[in-house]
Amino acid sequence: MREQARATTPPDNLPLKIKKKKKMAAGIPAVTSSLKHGLQNMGISRTFKTLTMVNQQQGFDCPGCAWPDPSHRTQFEFCENGAKAVADEATKSRVTPEFFAKHSVQHLSDQSDRWLNKQGRLTHPMVLEEGSSHYTPISWEDALIEIASHINTLDDPNRSVFYTSGRTSNEAAFLYQAMVRSIGTNNLPDCSNMCHESSGKGLGSTIGIGKGTVHLDDFNHADVILVIGQNPGTNHPRMLTALRDAKLKGAMIVHVNPLPEAGLERFKHPQDYMKMNLATTQLSDFHLPVKIGGDAALLKGLIKIHDEVGHLDSDFIENHTTGFESMLEKARDTDWESIVQDSGLSRELISEVGRAVAKSKATIACWAMGLTQQPNGVAVIQEVVNLLLMGGHVGRPGAGFCPVRGHSNVQGDRTVGIWEAPPEPFIERMENGLNISIPREHGYDVVRAIQAMRDGLVDVFFCMGGNFISATPDTLATAEGIRNVGLTVQVSTKLNRSHLVTGKKAIILPCLGRTERDIQASGPQFVSVENSMGIVHKSTGNLHPASEHLKSEPWIVSQLSKHLFDTSPIDWEHIVSNYDLIRDLMEKSLSGFDNYNERVRHENGFMLPNPPRDSRSFSTPSGLAHFTTHELPNVHLEPGHYVMMTIRSHDQYNTTVYDVHDRYRGISGNRRIILMNALDMAKRGWRNRQTVSITSHFDGETRTADGWQLVAYEIPRNNVATYFPEANVLVPLQSTAKDSNTPTSKWIDVTLSASSGDEEE
Ligand SMILES: Nc1nc2c(c(=O)[nH]1)N[C@H]1C(S)=C(S)[C@@H](COP(=O)(O)OP(=O)(O)OC[C@H]3O[C@@H](n4cnc5c(=O)[nH]c(N)nc54)[C@H](O)[C@@H]3O)O[C@H]1N2
Ligand SMILES: Nc1nc2c(c(=O)[nH]1)N[C@H]1C(S)=C(S)[C@@H](COP(=O)(O)OP(=O)(O)OC[C@H]3O[C@@H](n4cnc5c(=O)[nH]c(N)nc54)[C@H](O)[C@@H]3O)O[C@H]1N2
Ligand SMILES: [Mo]
């Protein structure tokens, strides 16, 4: 009999080491760390072969992040963390049928996330029968028939849900959404719902496109670059190169973050070591240690200063925008006392930065999860829009919006149709291209999918990549939902907790990764991806696949579709024989993909249309860019409460924990830690390593997790930080951002209590 698998990771239980935090990012330790991870996982020749193909025109797109590649590339166009992502996929370890015969699902679930990932690549399709304690092998044919028959017996297609993580290629994602829409549902939740959804919503309704508006080259022409709520030293290390180049050309860089993240303080390009240039660059001119959730107040302050200093782009405001007066009036009415109080920043500091922003001829604003995962995620991004529109900083060199995407193809997936709420023109075009009819009813996003599972409304849950149980909020609630589902399917490369916390029956379909050779009936194939700046380019895997049983994601979708549909306007067998045929169909079904097959073969790919950037035109109903008016959010905390943010360490890729070192922050050995201001600790009589329980509060409900070790850290008073995914049990499912429904993973209202011994006063 199957016992219930554990939904949360047990800790690794190594001793917690706390060192001084690092100021500098990259440099020699980054080079040695890349090589170490490569050598441990892949051995010497594979490490060299693999790393020199990352982000090369003839190679594969780095699966690490969505930061764009420069058009003139060096031989080493990867970073420490990209190298880790590649090594993790190209590992020589294997999870085989023998492995699954040896370990029960329950036993595996008692191992840590780090241990699970270390076991290596999945090699065979596997099935976990209802009530069974072990996975057993299943043939591809039987697995696909099983899945298709589950879906085909549903009396309502909306009882099936199809998740996507952001590594899936354009070709695979396009076919996948075509399959899902042919089944008759828009139930296409994706990782974006937990990630940049607030950016899409905030930008879409103000500038008419839910994407950024800058190119890499714009960084070379900017006067001011704002980096808000983002930790590029760890999560987008190649961005530091762009910031360094900008800095050398005179740009001022402002880092807005509760934490003094490494890299923005000092950065040493790893390649400079090879050139024996030992100078480091101090990147950020200003660090604004804003309180968690205090950005809206800060932005109001910057808008007030801009108003006072002048230098407004009146021509632009008059001819291209609407809503300016009301926005300005609200800023004028907002008092400095609230701004200072809510942001935690002095009026002098805000004014100094505000004057520089007002005088700047070209400003870029970059942001990531620090803004999007807030209750006011959409509104605060619209305040960024307000600030930049005042100076006309859109659609001109060196200026614009730069939401920095996470997963390497999360933006492409959305462009080609992974969207639970597609707009009407998109559906119409897709219907014409595919020759099918598509339901208009919106599907479930991530949070709504979990609710539906809990309510017993889902019979089949299919995941194209990712690790749903660990990535989603409220781990125990999500687990309860998943266990209600009849059949869960994971298309994956590596073992993770979503293979262990499953529906009644579960299937694992092992797929090729980005680094691997993909051969179909017509020969070797390449796929395409879209980076964070809207450039679509190809990616060709060159490594020998981890197992002869692996299939490509497009193949899996097309073969499943063959079993699903008796008749279909798409010839599924034929279309996957040559990915050019998929791209031809994409050209017909999507806008902006003309001559796709030809243009994607250009050396640096091609740029998708971006009206605000290309011609200062805004596809909003009014045809104008919108200033929007927002109240300051309520950031009030009850006495004795703290706000907790859940963040990434340096040694993880989302839910994939490579190791237990958060090198730049000086913390290693244990991930079950909580960063806290030393004065807040002293007030409670607490020291480093004291163990505490954390209780989160939302809407009268509480959730508690025990065994967190305190680490004194440079973080604003009443703010604390823990790591994702360990702390996800504390993120309430219903606590989501207004308008984007993104879980508020950076704003969790918590109280702390000492677990033992050293009691508070
Ligand atoms: N190596 C590595 N690279 C990655 C990933 C990874 O896990 N590992 N994940 C990828 C993905 S999917 C994504 S989305 C990106 C994520 O990239 P980031 O958004 O940089 O990731 P987080 O660690 O979530 O960090 C958010 C930052 O926001 C700050 N922050 C939190 N709350 C606030 C706030 O209220 N205001 C401000 N101003 N700042 C705040 C935190 O201190 C932290 O520095 O990275 C991508 N790249
Ligand atoms: N508390 C909290 N929660 C968060 C966040 C946070 O900051 N705080 N961040 C959120 C964000 S920004 C995101 S994007 C989500 C991430 O959510 P997901 O995208 O669901 O999670 P990942 O950890 O990136 O998924 C890793 C798994 O993907 C599979 N995989 C890797 N490569 C491939 C591939 O090429 N194909 C296929 N089919 N599978 C592959 C592997 O099996 C691996 O175990 O998490 C969100 N959750
Ligand atoms: Mo993300």
Whether the pLDDT of residue 42 is over 60: the answer is yes
Whether the pLDDT of residue 277 is over 60: the answer is no
Q: Is the distance from the beta carbon of residue 651 to the nearest atom of ligand 1 less than 6 Å?
A: no
Whether the pLDDT of residue 759 is over 60: the answer is no
Whether the pLDDT of residue 184 is over 70: the answer is yes
In DSSP terms, which residues pair with 644 in a beta bridge? Answer: 720, 748
Question: Whose alpha carbon is nearest atom 17 of ligand 1?
Answer: 235
Q: Which of 203, 147, 117, 139 is CA-nearest to residue 493?
A: 117
Per-residue pLDDT at 388: 98
Whether the pLDDT of residue 363 is over 70: the answer is yes
Q: Is the distance from the beta carbon of residue 633 to the nearest atom of ligand 1 less than 6 Å?
A: no
Per-residue pLDDT at 758: 46
What is the torsional sign of CA 21, 24, 27, 30? positive
Q: Is 322 strand, coil or helix? A: strand
> Rounded to the nearest whole angstrom, what is the distance from the C-alpha of residue 648 to the centroid of ligand 3?
11
Closest-lying ligand 1 atom to the alpha carbon of residue 232: 20
Task: For residue 475, give Cα distances in angstroms to 8, 179, 230, 495, 646.
Answer: 7, 29, 24, 18, 14
In the DSSP assignment, the letter for residue 657 is E
> Rounded to the nearest whole angstrom, what is the distance from the C-alpha of residue 410 to the centroid of ligand 3?
8
Per-residue pLDDT at 77: 66
- Spatial contact of 245 and 274, defined as CB atoms under 8 Å apart: no
Q: Sort 434 into a burial class: Cβ within 10 Å, 0-12 / 13-18 / 19+.
A: buried
Q: Which residues surround ligand 3, an ion (CB under 5 A)?
A: 195, 406
Average of pLDDT values for 373-391?
98
Q: Sort 311 into a burial class: Cβ within 10 Å, 0-12 / 13-18 / 19+.
A: middle
Per-residue pLDDT at 385: 98
Q: Is 2 strand, coil or helix? A: coil
Question: Whose alpha carbon is nearest atom 27 of ligand 2?
Answer: 466
> Rounded to the nearest whole angstrom, what is the distance from the C-alpha of residue 377 to the centroid of ligand 3?
14
If phi over 0 gives left and psi between -120 and 50 gives alpha, with beta otherwise, what is residue 323?
A: left
CA 350 vs. chain centroid, Å, equals 29
> Rounded to the nearest whole angstrom, what is the distance from the C-alpha of residue 372 to the centroid of ligand 1?
10
> Rounded to the nearest whole angstrom, what is the distance from the C-alpha of residue 387 to the centroid of ligand 1?
22
CA 151 vs. chain centroid, Å, equals 29
Per-residue pLDDT at 761: 33
Mutation to probe ligand 2, out of 492, 529, 658 (largest number of atoms < 8 A from CB): 492
- Spatial contact of 710 and 686, defined as CB atoms under 8 Å apart: yes
Whether the pLDDT of residue 326 is over 70: the answer is yes
Model confidence pLDDT, tens digit, residues 697-752: 999 999 999 999 999 999 999 999 999 999 999 999 999 999 999 999 999 999 99
Q: Is the distance from the beta carbon of residue 229 to the nearest atom of ligand 1 less than 6 Å?
A: yes
In the DSSP assignment, the letter for residue 93 is -
Spatial separation of the C-alpha atoms in residues 452 and 161, rounded to whole Å: 10
- Of 156-160, 332-336, 387-391, 601-605, give the lowest mean pLDDT range: 601-605
Model confidence pLDDT, tens digit, residues 737-756: 999 999 999 999 999 999 86
Spatial separation of the C-alpha atoms in residues 738 and 379, rounded to whole Å: 8
Which element (helix H / strand E) includes 468? Answer: helix 468-471
Q: Is the distance from the beta carbon of residue 374 to the nearest atom of ligand 2 less than 6 Å?
A: no
Q: pTM for this one?
A: 0.96
How much of the chain exceeds pLDDT 90, in percent? 84
Question: Whose alpha carbon is nearest atom 26 of ligand 2?
Answer: 466
Per-residue pLDDT at 276: 44
Per-residue pLDDT at 760: 40
Model confidence pLDDT, tens digit, residues 423-450: 999 999 999 999 999 999 999 999 999 9
Per-residue pLDDT at 72: 67
Closest-lying ligand 1 atom to the alpha carbon of residue 372: 19
φ, ψ for residue 642 (rounded to 5)? -130, 160
Per-residue pLDDT at 59: 83
Domains of the chain: 93-192+411-604 (3.40.50.740), 197-404 (3.40.228.10), 642-754 (2.40.40.20)
Closest-lying ligand 1 atom to the alpha carbon of residue 191: 12
Model confidence pLDDT, tens digit, residues 122-139: 999 999 999 999 999 999
Whether the pLDDT of residue 615 is over 90: the answer is yes
Per-residue pLDDT at 213: 97
Q: Which pLDDT band, with edges at 50, 70 and 90, does 55 fall under?
A: confident
Closest-lying ligand 2 atom to the alpha carbon of residue 463: 38
In the DSSP assignment, the letter for residue 22 is P
For 689-747, what is the HEC assignment? CCEEEEEEEECCEEEEEEEEEEEECCCCCCEEEEECCHHHHHCCCCCECCCCCCECCCC
Per-residue pLDDT at 268: 66
Model confidence pLDDT, tens digit, residues 185-232: 999 999 999 999 999 999 999 999 999 999 999 999 999 999 999 999
In the DSSP assignment, the letter for residue 680 is H
How much of the chain exceeds pLDDT 70, in percent? 94
Q: Is the distance from the beta carbon of residue 488 to the nearest atom of ligand 1 less than 6 Å?
A: no
Cis peptide before 609 (omega within 30 of 0): no
Mutation to probe ligand 1, out of 230, 383, 472 (largest number of atoms < 8 A from CB): 230
Q: Sort 303 into a burial class: Cβ within 10 Å, 0-12 / 13-18 / 19+.
A: buried
In the DSSP assignment, the letter for residue 618 is -
> Rounded to the nearest whole angstrom, what is the distance from the C-alpha of residue 207 to the centroid of ligand 2?
29
Per-residue pLDDT at 31: 67
Please tell me the number of the ligand nearest to residue 369's CA.
1
Which amino acid is it at 112? S
In DSSP terms, which residues pair with 709 in a beta bridge? Answer: 673, 691
Q: Is the distance from the beta carbon of residue 375 to the nearest atom of ligand 1 less than 6 Å?
A: no
Q: Is the distance from the beta carbon of residue 191 to the nearest atom of ligand 2 less than 6 Å?
A: yes
Q: Which pLDDT band, with edges at 50, 70 and 90, does 262 fall under?
A: confident
Closest-lying ligand 1 atom to the alpha carbon of residue 236: 47
Mutation to probe ligand 2, out of 61, 116, 161, 167 (largest number of atoms < 8 A from CB): 167
CA dihedral 323, 329, 335, 340 (to 10 degrees): 30
CA 57 vs. chain centroid, Å, equals 24
Model confidence pLDDT, tens digit, residues 550-573: 999 999 999 999 999 999 999 999
Q: Which two tokens stand for residue 99?
A: 């492995």
Bridge pairing between strands 400-403 and 136-137: unpaired
Instruction: Count CA atoms within 13 Å of residue 54 on its CB side.
Output: 30
Q: Which pLDDT band, with edges at 50, 70 and 90, does 278 fall under?
A: very low
Q: Which of 491, 509, 512, 508 is CA-nearest to residue 500?
A: 508
Please tell me the number of the ligand nearest to residue 651's CA.
1
Average of pLDDT values for 512-520?
96
Question: Whose alpha carbon is nearest atom 12 of ligand 1?
Answer: 406
Long-range residue pairs from 599-605, CB within 8 A, at least 24 positions apart, any chain:
599/536, 600/528, 600/536, 600/537, 600/538, 601/538, 603/57, 603/71, 604/57, 604/69, 604/71, 604/535, 604/537, 605/528, 605/535, 605/536, 605/537, 605/538
Per-residue pLDDT at 422: 95
Average of pLDDT values for 653-658?
96
Spatial separation of the C-alpha atoms in residues 274 and 276, rounded to whole Å: 5
Mean pLDDT of the chain: 93
Q: Is 753 strand, coil or helix? A: strand
Closest-lying ligand 1 atom to the alpha carbon of residue 81: 1
- Spatial contact of 342 and 393, defined as CB atoms under 8 Å apart: no
- Spatial contact of 176 and 464, defined as CB atoms under 8 Å apart: yes
- Spatial contact of 123 and 96, defined as CB atoms under 8 Å apart: yes
Whether the pLDDT of residue 79 is over 60: the answer is yes
